[in-house]
């Protein structure tokens, strides 16, 4: 009914956090990485704000397309109060229940997958710098 609102709210928060982190971030130290497996090239680790940007993009992208699905099903309308469920107290309770179950699961699943991506990228970064230092 309005489950996309939960990940959209998370997207607003993470966007603000990413913006504030970006302004206060220092550049990472340079290292040499073999991108093609042969030649050493100067490289710099991407900052955490950029990784947080991945989460923003997942959340915003998913929320926009899901909002469209809700328009398709007539649950979101372009006039006040924008949510058809808001007109009836029984529908409103159902909507809040759906937000607290499906909506929260959506946000948790996206965040969990992003955490997995961050962990994998951390491993790749570690392995790349380890291989380079071992061969130097």
Partner 1 sequence: MTLLISIFSAVICTAIWYKNAPKSRMMVGVLCWLYWGASIMWLADAIFEYAELGAEYFNPAPSDILNDLYLGLSVVALGLIIWLVILLVKDPKGVIKEALFKKKNL
Distance CA 14, CA 29 (A): 25
Strand, helix or coil at 34? strand
Which of residues 30 and 133 has its CB atom nearest to partner 1 in the complex? 30
Beta bridge pairs of residue 41: 33
Distance CA 123, CA 29 (A): 17
**80 lies in the site for partner 1, by CB under 8 A:** no
Which of residues 3 and 76 has its CB atom nearest to partner 1 in the complex? 3
**101 lies in the site for partner 1, by CB under 8 A:** yes
Beta bridge pairs of residue 76: 83
Which of residues 113 and 124 has its CB atom nearest to partner 1 in the complex? 113
Strand, helix or coil at 98? helix
Candidate ranges 14-22, 43-51, 53-61, 123-131; the one touching partner 1 (CB under 8 A): 53-61
**30 lies in the site for partner 1, by CB under 8 A:** no
**46 lies in the site for partner 1, by CB under 8 A:** no
Distance CA 32, CA 133 (A): 9
Residue numbers at the binding site for partner 1 (CB under 8 A): 3-4, 7, 54, 57-66, 68-69, 72, 101-102, 105-106, 109-110, 113
């Amino acid at each position: 009914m309005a489950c996309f609102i939960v990940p959209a709210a998370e997207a607003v928060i993470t966007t603000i956090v990413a913006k504030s982190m970006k302004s206060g971030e220092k550049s990472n130290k340079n290292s040499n990485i073999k991108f093609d497996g042969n030649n050493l090239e100067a490289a710099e680790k991407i900052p955490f704000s950029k990784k947080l940007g991945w989460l923003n993009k997942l959340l915003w992208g998913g929320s926009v397309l899901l909002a469209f699905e809700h328009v398709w099903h007539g649950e979101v309308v372009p006039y006040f109060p924008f949510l058809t469920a808001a007109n009836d107290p029984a529908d409103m309770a159902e909507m809040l229940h759906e937000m607290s179950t499906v909506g929260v699961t959506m946000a948790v699943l996206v965040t969990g997958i992003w955490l997995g991506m961050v962990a994998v990228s951390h491993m790749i970064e570690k392995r790349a710098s380890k291989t380079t230092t071992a061969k130097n």
